[in-house]
Every structure is written in C-alpha cells, then in structure tokens.
Amino acid sequence: MRFSQALIPTVKEVPADAEVPSHQLMIRAGLMRKVASGTYTYLPLGWRTLRKVIEIVRREMDAAGAQEILMPAVQPMELWQQTGRNVDYGQTMAHFTDRHGRENVLAPTAEEVVTSTAAGEINSYKQLPVNLYQISFKFRDEFRPRFGVLRSREFIMKDAYSFHANYECLDRTYKIMYETYCRIFRRCGLEYVIVEAESGEMGGSGSHQFTVPCQSGEDIIVYTADGSYAANIEKAIVDPLPKQQPYGNIGAMEDVHTPNVKTIADVCEFLQRQSRDLIKTLIYAHEKSFVAAMVRGDFEVNPEKLRINAGGSVEMASAEQIEELTGAAVGFAGPVGLCNKNVKMIIDHSVAGMAAGICGANKTDYHTKNVVPGRDFPLAGENIKIADIRNAVEGDTHNGQKLLFKNGIEVGQVFKLGTKYSEKLNACFLDADGKSKPCIMGCYGIGINRIVASAIETGHDENGIIWPISIAPYEVIIVPTGGEQEVVAAAEKIYNDLKSQGVEVLLDDRDARAGVKFKDADLIGIPVRITVGKKALSENQVEIKLRRNAQVDKVGLDSVVNETKTRIAKLKEELKAF
C-alpha cells in the first residue's frame, strides 16, 4: 500500500476524552474514529489489525475442531424470557419492539439462540459432542462505556458453545478450548495470566478468565507470589482472619443515639471509632424473602460470593422493604434480633471473628455498642450461615500465603455451563439406552477488540504503538527520505520485491519531511522500518530498524529483501505457540 493513497489520518494531539494509552493511540494512529459513545468506525489500519486477530482466532478454533456458524444480531426476546436472563442482563441488554409488536434483543451474547438451534438439530448422543462458534458483533448497553474499545457498547466477540453427552466429554473440550486460548493469545503477542473465575449469571460449575495484566485493566487479579493461586477478585477465596481477643471484659450491649448518622464513615466520625470496629449490615431481597449480609465495616461485600451463598440472585432491598424488615430507616440495620425474622443471615468470617462491634440497632437513629457475635446474635442455626462473602484486600492470605493484587484486562473467558440452558430450552438428546437427557454445555468467549487494545496497552512507548508482528497492520514500512529520483526508484524496487514475495508493505511515498515520516512510522507501530536515503544510496546501503529497539542495521541494497524477511521470520518465530 502507498501511504499517499491510504486513509491513515494520524493526529499529534492526544484526544481529550481518551484516558488510557490504547484509546489515545488508536485515535492518534488513525486506527479508528468515534461515532457515538462506545461505538467506533474502524479505519483501514484498525480493520487490518482486527482482521488479523480474527484470522488467528478462526484458525485456532478450526484446528481445535470447532465449526464456524453465524447467528443473527437480532434475537427474539422470548428465548431470553425462557432462561430468565432478560432480567439478569437488565438494562445492559438493548431491545426494541418491531412493527408486528414482537420484542427483539440486540445480541449481547448467544447462549439462548445457539441452544435453541441445537434443540432443533440434536437428537442423539451420536451427534455429540459438537462445538459451534461464531465471530460477530455484540451489543451491550454498558452503563459506562469507556477506555475506547476496552469497554465499548458494540464489539466483536468470538463466542463458542459446545454440547456433550456427559461431563467427561465437556471436561475434554474445556481443556482443548483452554489450550486453544493459550495459543491464540500467545500468537497475538499477549502476556496473559489465567485466573479462576466465577461463572456468575452464566450458571455452571467452572470458569477461567484470561487476563492481560496492565494498569488500565478494570479487573483485579489476586494471586500468590509462588504462582500456586490466581483468581479474579470476584472469586478470590481468603483465609478467615484470626479471631480477635477482647481487651478485658466487654460490657452489655448499649444503644447510642446516632441521629441521622447512617453510613460507615458517618458512624466512625460520630463515635470516634475505626471502620474495623463496625459491623456492616446490608439487606437484600432474595426471591420472596430477605438476605442480611454482614461484613466488618472496613470490608466490602462481594456480590458474587454473596449470590452463591444466598443460593441465587439477590438485589438491594428497597427503603420500604428494609423498614418493613428491620423496623428502622435505611442505615440502622444490625444483626441483633434480626434472625427471628424472615431473613437468611449470611455472616462473613470477619464479623464472626470480632471480639465485639458496633452495629445498627434496628431502631431509627440508634446504633448498638458492645455487640458480641455469638453472645448477642447467633452464629449458628437455621437460616444462619458463616461464609466468605467479602472482597479480598491487601494483607489477606490464601492457604496461608500472602495475596498480591494487580489490574488486568479480561480478554477471554471459558465456562462449564452444565445444563442450565439446555434444560430451559429443551435441548435434549437420546442416550445409548434411549433415555432423553439435556445436553451438557460449555461456552467460550473472546473479545476481539480487547485483544487489539490490550496489545497496545502492553506494547507502546512515548512515540506510539509497538505491534506484535502477527497483528500489525503491515509488517514493513519503507521510508524514502528524499524525493530524488534514485531514492524513489530504489524504494519502489524494494517495495515491489517485498510485495511480490508476500510481505505486507507500506511505502511512505508522501511528499513530506523525513522527520514527519519517521514520527508516523513510530506512531502506527509497523514492526520493521526500511529507510532509503540519498547518502545511504551512494554507498549502496539502506537501513533496517525494528520498531521495538533503537538498533539500526545498514544492509546492502541487494540483500535488503532477504535481510527484511529474516527479521520478519524471527519476529514471527517468537510468537509461535507451543
């Protein structure tokens, strides 16, 4: 491609709304332009890179025995109602009523559609297993689209769904997908970390997330230094804290007047105590009853852990519901006396281990001091559960080992789904004994755009992008540094020779200063740069430089093509999957 004819609109200024390097550089390098909040048009360079990622993903999925299909972007709401996930997805799911009054969903994912298709096609165990995937646009009306394509509203996802007659077979495919993901991310040049994850609203029994550690990541990876444990924050299991020993005798409970003092911070300030002395009580609605979750005041309730311990989805109770249950306004709930009511008490280890604490008095404008867990409210009994329901924090341990934290970008996730979808959508097969059974399923997602953004987050410097060669829009850029005829002719020859040998080359034939060309070459991050200058020509030499380091090699005009190809091969070799 000739730069003069390409649409590569690079910009110098950092866009005002771009907070993270990948977003800034994708705009500055002319890879994409924003259309509206969370939606982008990919310009030629950006689309070339995306296509390369798609091709790597497609090849690896095909090699793993998965079969590509394509499902519609508009799905019937009915299918979502059958699994109940229209409620789980809530406002993230965009939907519209068509001219016939039918409700439609803009696909945020496709478990429902693929399972209903399988229900129609799979009858016998002989057709199993089967692993179907697609690479297509997904739409999620994210509450806060941000960081460019790291969290956009429309994005390209590779989603795969496998169907099995038994769990051993699911385990085998899950392992193959896990390994395939390792190969894909490796080939895309990403340094990734695999963490245990919750399957969340997806249902199912096991899940792993593939994350790329970096500052801009919205996920928190929790791990031990020896590498024996890594989980995301939703899942990370913490050891219970040592039981606190009381300082002397703890007196009887005592109510204190705390008018309008509702939040943990307010109570600390008002009573001159630390948040770790408080018992935080949060009330959730769960089916037709309530769940009261208790954590120490300096910890946060972990919604995933709570959901699992509650036995299903919970949502924050309304002010009226809280008042109905506790008899007090919001902000004054506490565990004392609560267990006699229609409520499941889920008490975090951090509370169970407290010597004494301060909590809401279940009386508006009052808190209670000297509350001793086990003495003033029960720690065992029907509807009472002691569990790990808080987020891990600095200082926590797992199996005695210190937990460390870092940010990461989730680029992919694999799930063992079990029969959640097949039961609800009636995707059954006849087994060898002629018995009808629901298919056992797995699902496997990859965010294509997030791979691109993650590659930039972890591969850039102050001058621009440093692409891994496998997903670079072009492998080589040729920069003639003058307009002299010999220079142009030499550059053209190298360009044509490389092109004819299958190398992807960009020739910067613009009538621009060398400095401008070098800046753009660095900004758009092409892995290999060939500089053709007048002086170099007089010595029959050109320069080859890799984007990722400062070394400049002078090579003869007659060997430049081979030298370039050797460097490309080397860069590719580094990204070879095992």
Judged by CB under 6 A, the chain residues 449 through 508 that form the site for ligand ATP are 449-450
- Which C-beta is closer to Mg ion: that of 206 or that of 353? 206
- Least separation in angstroms between residue 120's CB and ligand ATP is 24
- Least separation in angstroms between residue 157's CB and ligand ATP is 5
Residues in the interface with Mg ion (CB under 5 A) total: 1
Count of other CB atoms within 10 angstroms of residue 566: 12
- Least separation in angstroms between residue 346's CB and ligand ATP is 24
Give first-to-last CA distance, the chain, whole Å.
Answer: 33
Q: Which stretch binds Mg ion (CB under 5 A): 58-66, 90-98, 391-399, 411-419?
A: 411-419
Is residue 330 within 8 Å of residue 281, measured between CB atoms? no
Judged by CB under 6 A, the chain residues 155 through 184 that form the site for ligand ATP are 155, 157
Is residue 413 within 8 Å of residue 445, measured between CB atoms? yes
| Residue 152 in contact with ligand ATP, rule: CB under 6 A | yes
Count of other CB atoms within 10 angstroms of residue 121: 10
Q: Which residues contact 392 (CB under 8 A, 6 or more apart)?
A: 222, 233, 236, 238, 398, 403, 405
- Which C-beta is closer to ligand ATP: that of 140 or that of 349? 140
| Residue 142 in contact with ligand ATP, rule: CB under 6 A | yes
Torsions phi, psi for 480 (to 5 deg)? -75, 130
142 binds, among ligand ATP, Mg ion, none (CB under 5 to 8 A by kind): ligand ATP
Distance separating alpha carbons of residues 452 and 432, to the nearest angstrom: 45
Judged by CB under 6 A, the chain residues 436 through 455 that form the site for ligand ATP are 445, 447, 449-450
Of 447, 405, 355, the residue nearest 135 (C-alpha): 447
Q: Say what the alpha-carbon torsion angle 178, 181, 187, 189 is, to the nearest 10 degrees.
A: -110
Q: Which residues contact 407 (CB under 8 A, 6 or more apart)?
A: 213, 214, 215, 216, 217, 218, 219, 220, 221
* 368 to 397: interface string for ligand ATP, x by CB under 6 A: ------------------------------
Element (H, E) at 346: strand 343-348
| Residue 216 in contact with ligand ATP, rule: CB under 6 A | no
Q: Which residue in the set 30, 412, 438, 525 belongs to the binding site for ligand ATP (CB under 6 A)?
A: 412
Q: Which residue in the set 188, 306, 411, 478 belongs to the binding site for ligand ATP (CB under 6 A)?
A: 411
- Which C-beta is closer to ligand ATP: that of 107 or that of 157? 157
148 binds, among ligand ATP, Mg ion, none (CB under 5 to 8 A by kind): none
- Which C-beta is closer to ligand ATP: that of 52 or that of 450? 450
Sign of CA dihedral 332, 337, 339, 341: negative
- Which C-beta is closer to ligand ATP: that of 99 or that of 144? 144
Judged by CB under 6 A, the chain residues 558 through 577 that form the site for ligand ATP are none
- Least separation in angstroms between residue 68's CB and Mg ion is 21
Angle between helices 448-458 and 44-63 (to 10 degrees): 110
* CA distances (Å), origin 177, targets 108, 132, 576: 21, 12, 18
Name the amino acid, one letter, at 246. P
367 binds, among Mg ion, ligand ATP, none (CB under 5 to 8 A by kind): none
| Residue 185 in contact with ligand ATP, rule: CB under 6 A | no
Q: Which residue in the set 348, 410, 508, 520 belongs to the binding site for ligand ATP (CB under 6 A)?
A: 410
For the chain, how many residues are written?
Answer: 578
| Helix ranges restricted to H, 373-505 | 420-424, 448-458, 485-500
Judged by CB under 6 A, the chain residues 226 through 255 that form the site for ligand ATP are none
| Residue 413 in contact with Mg ion, rule: CB under 5 A | yes
Question: According to the 3-state scheme, what is the secondary structure of 195-209?
Answer: EECCCHHHCCCEEEE
Q: Which residue in the set 52, 140, 280, 545 belongs to the binding site for ligand ATP (CB under 6 A)?
A: 140
Q: Which residues bind Mg ion (CB under 5 A)?
A: 413
Q: Which residues bind ligand ATP (CB under 6 A)?
A: 109, 140, 142, 151-152, 155, 157, 410-413, 445, 447, 449-450
